[in-house]
C-alpha cells in the first residue's frame, strides 16, 4: 500500500487533505447533514466530471470509514448523500469484523487520516436472520454465521424481538471487536483522535439509530 497522506501539489486544497481536515465531531456532523438531505428527498445530484476523475487519480481523501452490510439497499453514498471519494467503504454480509475488514479500516485511519469509523447494520439483516434461524449452516456461510452467533445468544436473554435485538447486539459487538482487534485504532481512541459509531438503519423508515459509540 502506498502512502497517500501527502500527495504532491494538493496541500493547499482543504478537500484534498487527510480526512479532509475534519475532526471526528466534524465528520459526524457532515454525515448527519447528508442523511437529513436523504430523508427529506433533497439529495444533491453531483455528476462525476472529467476534472473529478483527474483529481481522484491523484489520491483518495475520504473523511469517514464505513463498515456496513453488503445488502444491495445499503449504499452509504446514497444514505448519507456523499460523493465519490468521500467514504472509504468496507462491506460484508452482517457487517462483521475480521482480519481483512480490520486491516482495511486501520489503513483508513493510519494512512488516509480518517477520524470517524461508522458501522451500520440494518433491520431484517439476512445474515443475522440466518444466525437466529439456522446456526448450523456449513461452508463459508456457516463460518460467517458463527461470527454472529454471540450476538444472537446475547439477544435471546433480552425481552422483545430476537431478530431486532440481534441486529443491535451484532453492531455493538463489531464496534468493540474493532477496538480490540486493532491496537492502532484503540490507541487513537484513547488519545481522543478517533471515534467509532455503531448504528442501525431502518429499511422502511430510513431512520438511523445510534446504538454504540467509542471515543
| Domains of the chain by residue range | 14-214
pLDDT score recorded for residue 13:
60
Residue 70 has a CB neighbour count (10 Å cut-off) of 13
Q: pLDDT for 72-106, tens place per residue?
A: 999 999 999 999 999 999 999 999 999 999 999 99
Pairing of strands 208-214, 64-68: unpaired
Architecture of domain 14-214: 3-Layer(aba) Sandwich (3.40)
Cα separation, 212 vs 169, whole angstroms: 10
> Is residue 111 predicted with pLDDT exceeding 90?
yes
Mean pLDDT, all residues of the chain:
91
Q: Check residues 57 and 75 and name the one with the higher pLDDT.
A: 75
C-alpha cell at 77: 453514498
CA 131 to chain centroid: 21
* Least confident interval from 1-15, 44-58, 74-88: 1-15
> Could you give the 3-state DSSP secondary structure of residue 196?
strand
pLDDT band, very low/low/confident/very high, at 1 (cuts 50, 70, 90): very low
Q: Nearest 10 degrees: CA dihedral of 93, 152, 106, 193?
A: 130
> Do residues 38 and 206 touch, judged by C-beta distance below 8 A?
yes
User: Which DSSP helix (H) or strand (E) runs through 66?
Assistant: strand 64-68
Q: Which residue, 112, 108, 95, is CA-closest to 174?
A: 95
pLDDT score recorded for residue 5:
40
Cα separation, 181 vs 124, whole angstroms: 27
Amino acid at each position: 500500500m502506498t502512502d497517500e497522506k501527502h500527495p504532491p501539489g494538493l496541500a493547499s486544497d482543504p478537500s484534498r487533505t487527510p480526512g479532509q481536515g475534519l475532526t471526528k465531531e466534524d465528520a459526524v456532523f457532515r454525515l448527519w447533514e447528508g442523511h437529513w438531505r436523504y430523508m427529506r428527498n433533497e439529495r444533491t445530484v453531483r455528476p462525476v466530471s472529467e476534472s473529478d476523475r483527474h483529481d481522484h487519480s491523484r489520491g483518495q481523501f475520504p473523511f469517514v470509514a464505513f463498515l456496513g452490510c453488503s445488502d444491495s439497499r445499503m449504499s452509504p453514498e446514497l444514505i448519507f448523500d456523499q460523493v465519490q471519494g468521500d467514504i472509504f467503504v468496507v462491506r460484508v454480509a452482517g457487517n462483521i469484523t475480521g482480519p481483512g475488514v480490520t486491516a482495511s479500516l486501520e489503513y483508513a485511519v493510519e494512512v488516509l487520516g480518517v477520524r470517524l469509523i461508522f458501522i451500520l447494520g440494518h433491520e431484517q439483516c439476512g445474515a443475522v436472520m440466518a444466525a437466529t434461524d439456522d446456526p448450523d449452516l456449513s461452508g463459508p456461510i456457516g463460518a460467517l454465521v458463527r461470527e454472529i452467533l454471540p450476538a444472537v445468544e446475547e439477544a435471546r436473554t433480552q425481552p422483545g424481538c430476537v431478530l431486532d435485538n440481534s441486529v443491535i447486539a451484532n453492531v455493538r459487538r463489531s464496534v468493540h471487536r474493532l477496538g480490540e482487534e486493532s491496537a492502532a485504532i484503540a490507541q487513537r481512541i484513547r488519545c481522543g483522535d478517533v471515534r467509532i459509531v455503531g448504528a442501525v438503519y431502518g429499511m422502511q423508515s430510513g431512520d438511523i439509530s445510534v446504538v454504540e459509540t467509542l471515543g
